[in-house]
Structure 1
Amino acid sequence: MRQEQHILSVATRGRGFYEFTRDARDFVRASGLSLGQITVFCRHTSASLLIQENADPSVLADMEAFFEKLAPEGRGLYRHETEGPDDMPAHLRAALTQSSLLIPFAESELLLGTWQGIYLFEHRRAPHRRDIVLHAVGE
Structure 2
Amino acid sequence: MRQASTELTLSTPGPGLHEFTREATAWVAAQGMASGLLTVFCRHTSASLCIQEDAAREVRGDVLRWLDRMAPENAGYAHDDEGPDDMPAHLKSILTGVSLSIPLLGGKLALGTWQGLYLCEHRRQPHRRQVVLHLLGA
**TM-score, normalised by the number of residues in structure 2:** 0.98
Aligned to 2:90: 91
Counterparts of 2:9 and 2:107, CA distance in 1: 22
Which residues in structure 2 correspond to 1:55-66 (within 5 Å)? 55-66=55-66
Q: What fraction of aligned residue pairs are identical, expressed as a percent?
A: 54
Structure 2 SS opposite 1:126: coil
1:27 aligned partner, one-letter code: W
Q: Deviation per CA, 1:20-73, whole angstroms, max 9, x where unpaired?
A: 001111111001111111000000000000000001011111001111111111
Counterparts of 1:32 and 1:136, CA distance in 2: 11
Corresponding position: 1:20 with 2:10: no
2:39 aligned partner, one-letter code: T
Which residues in structure 2 correspond to 1:1-139 (within 5 Å)? 1-74=1-74, 77-139=76-138
1:121 aligned partner, one-letter code: C
Structure 2 SS opposite 1:95: helix
* Unaligned stretches of 5+ residues in structure 1: none
Counterparts of 1:10 and 1:60, CA distance in 2: 18
* Unaligned stretches of 5+ residues in structure 2: none
CA RMSD of aligned residues (A): 0.8
Counterparts of 2:35 and 2:27, CA distance in 1: 13
Counterparts of 1:113 and 1:32, CA distance in 2: 21
Cα displacement (A) at 1:77: 1.3
Moved beyond 6 Å, runs of 4+: none
Cα displacement (A) at 1:107: 2.1
Cα displacement (A) at 1:106: 1.6
**TM-score, normalised by the number of residues in structure 1:** 0.97
